[in-house]
Amino acid sequence: MTIISKSDIDSFLSKIENLIDIAFFSNSLGVTKELVSSEIGMSIAEARQTLLQVRHLKLNKGCEILEVGSGIGIASAGLSSFGFNVTSLEPGGLGFEGNAKMVDNISRILGINFAIKPEPAETVTFPLGTKFDLIISNNVLEHITDVELALSNLLHYLSEDGIMIHSCPNYSFPFEPHFGIPLIPFFQKLTKVVLPRRISGSSLWRSLNFVTAKQIQRYAKAHSFEVVFKRGMMARSIQRLRDDPQFLQRHRLIGRVTQNAFGLWLLKVVAKLPSRFATPMDFLVCRSSMMNDALVRDWLDN
């Protein structure tokens, strides 16, 4: 059994920062070095969160892991370097067209081999008999066209004693984290009518599906799988604002709220909302037979 330590994660990501050639990606993608540097920085921060999702799990060396929406592949590379067999699923898609171009290069630059598939989660197929022990995604489900179809398709490739772990915004709470803006409650998509064109017309905005915890619970019931939500994720995000400068930079509006006593108190009150109303939502999907398994308990308890 292997448990990924925080020092393992820190050491790997530090290595990444030293190896990635900003000029190479700038030239190959035809964009500025500043833009590439910013994107790499965000990708490393997201990879850290992805790896932290699973660091308390006791996993067998060589177990099969599928990362859905792996971006430029940093977390997939990390999991592969820790001794797991990793498949990276990255179709690019609306607002993320550059990812598919970069993931091959990341694997080559790092000298870490992992399988890369460019298909979307809704329709991806694997050879007969393919099963994954762990399927993960981080800030991906909100960009998938049909979340229900994606989850049911992925479940088909989950081993009998496997688990899926997903983290994404819960749009039951009227806030859009990518742009750091409030949403019209219950009618999130209508918010675009009051937004500047640079937001409402962007590929990123058009990629959003505004998934909610209630929808996830409904999908679970419809497809006979279990879903459990981790508590306290909103409180953890608020703490991350205080500990992670890059995360604070991306969420400056909420960050400013935390700078005064009343705002911080209000956020702490909001952070106690039940999981079905709180954002982000971290949830685990598995079969009923796995609900009392140590893997599920370890994830919920950490």
The pLDDT of residue 94: 61
The pLDDT of residue 10: 92
The pLDDT of residue 97: 60
134, two tokens? 């762990």
38, two tokens? 């910013």
Hey, what amino acid is at 227?
A: V
* Contact between 138 and 245 (Cβ < 8 Å): no
Q: Kindly calculate the radius of gyration of the chain based on its CA atoms and give it in whole angstroms.
A: 19
Question: CA–CA separation, 262 vs 248, rounded Å?
Answer: 19
CA angle, residues 176, 178, 183, in degrees to nearest 5: 15
| E strand segments, 146-240 | 158-168, 175-176, 181-182, 226-229
The pLDDT of residue 248: 56
The domain spans of the chain are 6-170+283-301
**Those residues with Cβ within 8 angstroms of residue 185's Cβ, 6 or more apart along the chain or in another chain:** 174
The pLDDT of residue 90: 87
Q: How far is CA 201 from CA 140, 163, 197, 228, in A?
A: 20, 37, 5, 35
Q: Residue 234: helix, strand or coil by DSSP? A: helix
Question: CA–CA separation, 277 vs 42, rounded Å?
Answer: 26
Compute CA 6 distance to the chain's CA centroid, rounded to the nearest angstrom: 18
Please state which CATH number belongs to domain 6-170+283-301: 3.40.50.150
pTM for the whole structure = 0.88
The pLDDT of residue 16: 83
The pLDDT of residue 68: 96
Dihedral sign, CA of 117, 121, 122, 125? positive
Q: Residue 164: helix, strand or coil by DSSP? A: strand
Regarding beta strands 115-117 and 85-89, do their DSSP bridges make them parallel or antiparallel, or are they unpaired? parallel
Q: Which residues of the chain have pLDDT under 70?
A: 1, 28-29, 92-101, 237-271
Encode pLDDT of 199-255 as tens digits.
999 999 999 999 999 999 999 999 999 999 998 777 776 666 666 666 656 556 565
The pLDDT of residue 262: 55
